[in-house]
């Protein structure tokens, strides 16, 4: 994939991911307005987290990191890629189906592992009910993740990136219908979750069919290629488990503070907007691209792809991180402050958002750095790094919670993110020049940081005259728009003046090739 096409792939995936995150954000604003941080909200949020946690554990976090490089190389060499994909499809379906049955039976213990603070109140029973309804979502989404990896390896990014929009649309529709007809809001949201999974699976399956891969379900068989995939995926499964343990740690700490699971979840959703747009776009495009370059022996092209992806990621996420830290309170107040989400929820959620925002560049860098390992079929090294990050997260979250309360969970997540990014950077030095920063990135990185700080100072200055308007019901949306777009304009001007980006580069990257 040429650098121009690589950037275009980032933009395609990023734009659809942005659409998904915006619609998802609307969904979360509606959850906050209808349910706030009350009993039903916290029970549903924990129940919804369970299938998503296992989905990342088996499908996105492990299976696809092994599947995509192998499939990409088979596709490049025309080595019967469809047969391999169908074997992987059947194997994943079998494993996740068994997991779903076991999880449904063991749901009380899973809720206990996720939120021990629920024991003894009505949140626990509700979370078990919602969890059993929601959990089949993992089956549909695991297969969706595999098909998405197949599409991305073939350079077909649109359907895989657009599918998550359907989930959010289904959930929004469920809430609107429940409000209109007086249905139980928690049950309506729970039942809409597996329905959304079916819609997403259908979308990517038909896209894969158009690509020439109409995968069929059949009895799984253990082929040499599938054995190789499992050998590579094994450490990635463990690494995915470590990442999800970090999530469990945060939820466990938060479950002992009334409303804290809601505060962490709503703050997470807001900072996931820039993280999803940039990091996911880079991750799904860069991994198959680097895998193909390694297969072709194009080390110089791989280095160029890595450096441009890093530059693109930092150019967008460093200013976002500064903005989330500086303007956390008005963002939460204006975007979530309505209905059941009252004034007592705004301050704690804003605090969590600021802490998460400080870790945004680290989580994005991980998406750039991990493909360097996965493309070489090395999943063991990231696993070792993930274990150390898990230890850091647990020590901070549990160790500081008596002093910082629920905020310790967010701080542990952020520090662990930077720990993981630092380890990946240090370990990638073994790959030689292919993983080294080039002169352009070394020159532009400090300029990106300075331009972001200039923007942060400008946003801080704007917040004072806009303060009364940000608190006024009729004017707060306009005031927030002035704050956001003013910050964006200031960053763009500072980046151009300081040389963090050049107009010529933007034109060359966005120009369509004939």
pLDDT at residue 12, rounded to an integer:
59
* H helix intervals, 327-438: 328-336, 343-358, 360-374, 380-404, 407-428
Please state, in angstroms and rounded to a whole number, the distance separating the CA atoms of residues 148 and 161: 8
Q: How far apart are CA 156 and CA 147, in angstroms?
A: 11
Give the number of other CB atoms < 10 A from CB of residue 164. 24
DSSP code, position 58: I
Residue identified by tokens 């209905």 is 339
Q: Which of 293, 256, 214 is nearest to 406 (CA)?
A: 256
Domain map (residue ranges) of the chain? 3-437, 446-514
The C-alpha atoms of residue 225 and residue 87 are separated, in whole angstroms, by 9
Residue ranges of the chain whose pLDDT lies below 70: 1-17, 55-65, 233-244, 276-292, 294-297, 434, 505-514
- Which tokens sit at 276? 């999803």
Q: How far apart are the first and last CA of the chain?
A: 15
Phi-psi region of 121 (alpha: psi -120 to 50; beta: other; left: phi over 0): beta
Whole-number pLDDT of residue 7: 53
Cβ contacts of 453 within 8 Å, gap of 6 or more? 322
Contacts of 472 (CB under 8 A, 6+ apart): 479
433 by Cβ neighbours in 10 Å (0-12 / 13-18 / 19+) ranks as exposed
- Which residue shows structure tokens 């088979």? 74
pLDDT value of residue 71: 82
CA distance 452 to 448: 6
Question: Token pair for residue 204?
Answer: 């990517």
Q: Are 103 and 50 in contact (CB under 8 A)?
A: yes
In this prediction, residue 451 carries a pLDDT of 97
Distance, in Å, from the CA atom of 153 to the CA atom of 100, rounded to the nearest integer, reads 28
pTM: 0.75
Q: By 3-state DSSP, what share of the chain in percent is helix, strand and coil, each rounded to 5?
A: 85, 0, 15
Let me know how long the chain is. 514
Going from the C-alpha of 195 to that of each of 6, 96, 100, 162, 191, the distances in angstroms are 33, 17, 16, 16, 7
> Are the beta carbons of 44 and 28 closer than 8 angstroms?
no
């Amino acid at each position: 994939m040429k650098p121009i096409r690589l950037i275009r792939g980032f933009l395609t995936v990023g734009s659809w991911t942005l659409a998904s995150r915006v619609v998802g954000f609307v969904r979360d604003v509606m959850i906050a307005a209808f349910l706030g941080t009350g009993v039903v909200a916290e029970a549903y949020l924990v129940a919804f987290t369970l299938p998503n946690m296992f989905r990342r554990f088996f499908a996105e976090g492990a299976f696809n990191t092994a599947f995509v490089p192998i499939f990409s190389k088979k596709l490049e060499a025309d080595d019967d890629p469809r047969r391999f994909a169908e074997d992987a499809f059947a194997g994943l379906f079998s494993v996740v189906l068994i997991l779903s049955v076991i999880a449904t039976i063991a749901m009380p213990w899973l809720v206990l592992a996720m939120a021990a603070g629920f024991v003894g109140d009505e949140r626990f029973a509700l979370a078990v009910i919602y969890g059993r309804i929601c959990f089949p979502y993992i089956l549909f989404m695991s297969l969706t993740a595999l098909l998405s990896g197949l599409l991305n390896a073939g350079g077909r990014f649109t359907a895989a990136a657009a599918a998550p929009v359907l989930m959010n649309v289904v959930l929004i529709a469920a809430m609107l219908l429940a409000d209109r007809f007086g249905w139980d809001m928690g049950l309506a949201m729970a039942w809409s979750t597996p329905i959304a999974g079916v819609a997403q699976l259908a979308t990517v399956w038909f896209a894969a069919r158009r690509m020439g891969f109409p995968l069929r379900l059949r009895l799984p068989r253990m082929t040499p290629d599938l054995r190789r995939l499992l050998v590579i995926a094994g450490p990635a499964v463990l690494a995915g488990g470590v990442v999800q343990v970090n999530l469990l740690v945060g939820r466990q700490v938060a479950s002992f503070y009334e409303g804290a699971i809601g505060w962490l979840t709503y703050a997470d959703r807001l900072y996931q907007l820039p993280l999803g747009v940039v990091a996911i776009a880079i991750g799904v495009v860069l991994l198959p691209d680097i895998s193909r370059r390694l297969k072709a022996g194009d080390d110089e092209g791989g280095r160029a792809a890595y450096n441009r992806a890093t530059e693109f990621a930092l150019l967008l996420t460093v200013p976002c991180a500064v903005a989330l830290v500086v303007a956390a309170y008005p963002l939460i107040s204006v975007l979530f402050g309505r209905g059941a989400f009252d004034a007592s929820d705004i301050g704690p959620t804003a605090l969590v958002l600021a802490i998460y925002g400080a870790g945004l560049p680290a989580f994005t860098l991980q998406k750039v750095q991990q493909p360097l390992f996965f493309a070489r079929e090395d999943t063991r090294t990231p696993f070792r790094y993930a274990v150390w990050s898990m230890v850091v997260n647990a020590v901070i979250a549990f160790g500081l919670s008596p002093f910082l309360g629920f905020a310790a969970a967010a701080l542990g997540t952020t520090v662990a993110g930077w720990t993981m990014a630092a380890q990946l950077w240090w370990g990638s030095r073994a790959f030689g020049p292919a993983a080294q920063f080039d002169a352009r990135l070394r020159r532009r990185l400090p300029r990106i940081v300075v331009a972001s700080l200039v923007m942060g100072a400008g946003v801080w200055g704007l917040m004072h005259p806009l303060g009364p308007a940000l608190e006024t019901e009729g004017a707060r949306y306009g005031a927030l728009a002035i704050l956001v777009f003013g910050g964006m304009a200031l960053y763009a001007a500072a980046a151009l003046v300081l040389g963090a980006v050049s107009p010529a580069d933007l034109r060359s990257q966005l120009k369509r090739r004939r």
